[in-house]
Structure 1
Amino acid sequence: MQDLAELKIQLRSRLKQSRDLMDVSMRQQAMTQINAGMKRELEHLRQAKSKGSNRPLIIFSYLSYGSEASTACLFQEGWNHGDVMLAPKVLAESPRMELRRVTGEQDTEPGIWGIPEPKNSCVVLSPEDWPKLDLVLVPGLGYDLHGGRIGYGGGYYDRFAEMLAAKCAMTDKKPLMGAMVLPGQLQDKIPMDLLDLRIDLLITTEGILHISNKGL
């Protein structure tokens, strides 16, 4: 019987290949639908947060690279509304991520693997302030309807989620953990370790799915 690690390796390879080979027109159509869903969800979050105070959202999202679901529209939407937009800067020697504020494309540059990330001049959000986040948009290769996610194997977002949960345990606030799901990424079941992060919100071409992870 295959162990969990081997299952994950094979699933990553299959899902990565499928995503890389996606037809360009299919991808564009999918992103149009996903971006429309994301805008609706952001508007709901703004309405729930503001309650007359018109406070900006605080959003942490990956900067898309290669065949990933594009976050360009999300960042532009956030900047247009005056939201606080944060992106990860990878500290490979740690290994962990810093959350740095980006106010426009001029604040980003290629990182150690060529992936876009904030410049060193961008302000860092202290881990003590992580509970103030409203939405975390997580990259990945596959997802399921139970909140399961399979990433790229580095564990950066799993470690971040563990630290975030510890910080949020001292408050009454916890951000939504969301993902944008391209065609072919939604699976029947993702093999999960106990400490793997789980998703609360899936933005798909079919609509928005809110997931309850209670008891999982």
Structure 2
Amino acid sequence: MVDATDNKAQLRGRLRAARAAIGPSERGRSDEAIRRQVLAMGDWGRSDVVYAYLSLKDEVDTRALVSDALRAGKRVALPRCTSTQRELAWHYVSSLDGLVPGRFGILEPDPALHEPASAAGAVRSLALVPGLTFDDEGFRLGYGGGYYDGFLSRFEGVSVGLCRSSLRVESLAGMGCLEPHDVPVDLVVEA
């Protein structure tokens, strides 16, 4: 019998290869279409705070959305991966300047320079959530650390998965890739 962990590892490998094979012009078109959809959402317009991730390599680009949020006067919070609890610690930023490489080489807010932001009680907020794929129920396959599942279990705002259409799957449960701790996003924006 194959367990969800084995299935997830196999699917992660296939999805990483498929994502890396998407050319730069196709990525750019897809990312801009996703950006336009997010900006048109009523939940985006109503949000006071945007919890965002900073995209890496071939992930859906979020830097333009972070800039859009800052220009619109929204507070923007970026995560920092804690080394001991496998949790995301969020901090408000006013620009993308002055970020420092974190535990996984991801640019993060320096906790000594950036005000902490709590995900609990953040009702008029929107979270942009990364993933290798999302399914029709909003479940995601991430990178295996469980950081975002912990965040989503406490987040009270609207969570939005960002996904390229070519990487979307119908059902992670049907593929044997769901575990009890997995938490879905409220909606998925894809292009």
Q: TM-score normalised to the size of structure 1?
A: 0.80
1:204 aligns with 2:190: yes
1:185 aligns with 2:167: yes
Does the CA contact (< 8 Å) of 1:102 and 1:108 recur in 2? no
Give the equivalent residue in structure 2 for 1:45.
43
Give the total of aligned pairs. 186
Separation of aligned partners in 2, 1:94 and 1:3: 25
Q: Which runs of 5+ in 2 are unaligned?
A: none
Give the equivalent residue in structure 2 for 1:126.
118
Does the CA contact (< 8 Å) of 1:75 and 1:85 recur in 2? yes
**How far apart are residue 88 of structure 1 and its match?**
0.4
Separation of aligned partners in 2, 1:114 and 1:133: 30
Of 82, 95, 98, which aligns to 1:91?
A: 82
Shift in alpha-carbon separation, 1:122–1:133, aligned structure 2, 3 A: farther
Q: TM-score normalised to the size of structure 2?
A: 0.90
One-letter amino acid of the structure 1 residue matched with residue 49 of structure 2: I
Q: Which runs of 5+ in 1 are unaligned?
A: 50-55, 166-173, 206-216
**How far apart are residue 28 of structure 1 and its match?**
0.9
Give the equivalent residue in structure 2 for 1:66.
57
Separation of aligned partners in 2, 1:20 and 1:130: 37
1:36 aligns with 2:36: yes
Does the CA contact (< 8 Å) of 1:65 and 1:116 recur in 2? no
Does the CA contact (< 8 Å) of 2:44 and 2:126 recur in 1? no
Give the equivalent residue in structure 2 for 1:110.
101
One-letter amino acid of the structure 2 residue matched with residue 86 of structure 1: A
Separation of aligned partners in 2, 1:107 and 1:193: 37
Q: Percent identity?
A: 26
Give the equivalent residue in structure 2 for 1:16.
16
**How far apart are residue 73 of structure 1 and its match?**
1.1
Shift in alpha-carbon separation, 1:103–1:189, aligned structure 2, 3 A: same
Does the CA contact (< 8 Å) of 1:59 and 1:133 recur in 2? no
Does the CA contact (< 8 Å) of 2:43 and 2:158 recur in 1? no
Separation of aligned partners in 2, 1:148 and 1:98: 22
Separation of aligned partners in 2, 1:92 and 1:66: 22
